[in-house]
Amino acid sequence: MLSVLFCDIPNFPAIAESMSPDELVNTLNRYFSVMVDDTIIPRHGTPDKYIEYAIMALFGAPVKRDDDALSSVLAGIEMTEALVDFNTRQKAAGRIPFAVGIGINYGVVTVGNIGTEKKMDYTVIGDMVNLASRLSGLTKAYHQQLIISDSLHLKVKDELPCRLLDSVAVKGKKKGIRIYTVKKALSLKEKEAWGQHNMGMAEYYDRNFKQAADYFSKALSLLPGDEVAAMLKERSLRFAKAPPPETWDGVEVMKTK
C-alpha cells in the first residue's frame, strides 16, 4: 500500500506560448525545484518521473513509513502553498502564473524495475496509479487545486479537515468513488461552510434534494462564489424538480480525462 501523487499544470500551453524555449526550461526547472526538492522530498516522497511538465511522486516506495498516506496529503497541500511564492515571482517578472492540479490516491500497486535489459526504470503501475492521474485531471472540473480519493480520505480524515466533493466514475471506469479536497486547517467561516456542505452531501445521497440544496445555499452564503457548492445546489434543485431513476447511485460519469 502506498500513495501516488500526480501534479499537472493545466495552463501550461498558455505559459509555453508566452516564453522563449530557454525561458521556459529555466522556469520549469525552478518550478520543479520548488515542488520536488523543497516540498515532496522533505515529506519523504520519491519523485518517480516527470511526464512532460507533470510530476509523479511516490510515498511508501522504495522505503515504507507508517505515515506515508498523511505525508502525501501534507506534501500536496504544501505544494499549493509553495506555489503562491513561486507565482509572486512569476508576476513580478511579467510572466503568467502557474496553475496546478494535484491528485493523490492510496492503494495497492505493482512496484519494480520495468523495461528491458538495456533500459530499466523503477516505477509503479496499476489502476491505482491511473486513478491518481485522473484525480489530477478532475481538479479543473471541480475548481480545486487538490483532490484525494476515498481510500486516502479514510487514512487522513481524523488528522485533517476534508470536504466531500462528489462521487464520480472517472473516464474508462464504471465504478464510482467519492472524491475529497483537504486543508491543514480551516477558518471559522470555512469550518462552518464545509460542515453545511457535507451535511448537504448526506441529504443529496439520501435523495432529499430540496434539503440538500438548502445546505448548499448556506455554504454559499458563507463562502460566496464557491463553485462546488453552487454546482451541487443547481444539481440538487434540478433533481428536486425531476428526480433521477430509482437506480440512481449518485455517481457522476466523467466523459473526459
pLDDT digits (tens, 9 = 90+) for 193-205: 999 999 999 999 9
Distances (CA, A) of 154 to 150, 151, 158, 164, 186: 6, 5, 8, 12, 19
Distances (CA, A) of 131 to 31, 137, 183: 24, 10, 21
Residue 116 pLDDT exceeds 90: no
Give the pLDDT confidence score for residue 257 in this predicted structure: 62
Secondary structure of residue 138 in the 3-state scheme: helix
Query: What secondary structure, in 3-state letters, does 177-246 show?
Result: EEEEEECCCCCHHHHHHHHHHHHHHHHHHCCCHHHHHHHHHHHHHHCCCCHHHHHHHHHHHHHHHCCCCC
Query: What secondary structure, in 3-state letters, does 18-81 show?
Result: CCCHHHHHHHHHHHHHHHHHHHHHHHCCEEEEEECCEEEEEECCCCCCCCHHHHHHHHHHHHHH
- Residue 117 C-alpha cell reads as 535489459
Give the pLDDT confidence score for residue 207 in this predicted structure: 96
Please report, to the nearest 10 degrees, the dihedral formed by the alpha carbons of residues 40, 46, 48, 53 taken in order: 10
Share above pLDDT 90 across residues of the chain, in percent, rounded to a whole number: 82
Confidence of residue 52 (pLDDT cuts 50, 70, 90): confident
End-to-end CA distance of the chain: 25
- Residue 250 C-alpha cell reads as 449518485
Share above pLDDT 70 across residues of the chain, in percent, rounded to a whole number: 98
| Ordered DSSP codes for 87-122 | HHHHHHTT-PPPP-EEEEEEE--EEEEEE-SS-EEE
Residue 183 pLDDT exceeds 70: yes
Q: What distance in Å separates the CA atoms of residue 230 and residue 151, rounded to the nearest whole number?
A: 26
Give the pLDDT confidence score for residue 248 in this predicted structure: 92
φ/ψ of residue 101, rounded to 5: -130, 110
Give the pLDDT confidence score for residue 233 in this predicted structure: 97
What is the pTM (predicted TM-score) of this model?
0.93
Average confidence score pLDDT of the chain: 92
**4, 129 Cβ separation under 8 angstroms:** yes
Domain 2-185 class in CATH:
alpha beta
Confidence of residue 24 (pLDDT cuts 50, 70, 90): very high
Residue 120 pLDDT exceeds 80: no
Confidence of residue 65 (pLDDT cuts 50, 70, 90): very high
Give the pLDDT confidence score for residue 123 in this predicted structure: 74
Residues in the chain: 257
Q: Which residue did the predictor score with more confidence, 117 or 20? A: 20
- Residue 115 C-alpha cell reads as 523495461
Nearest Cα residue to 2 out of 125, 144, 92: 125
The domain spans of the chain are 2-185, 186-251
- Residue 68 C-alpha cell reads as 506515508
Give the pLDDT confidence score for residue 69 in this predicted structure: 97
Give the pLDDT confidence score for residue 129 in this predicted structure: 87
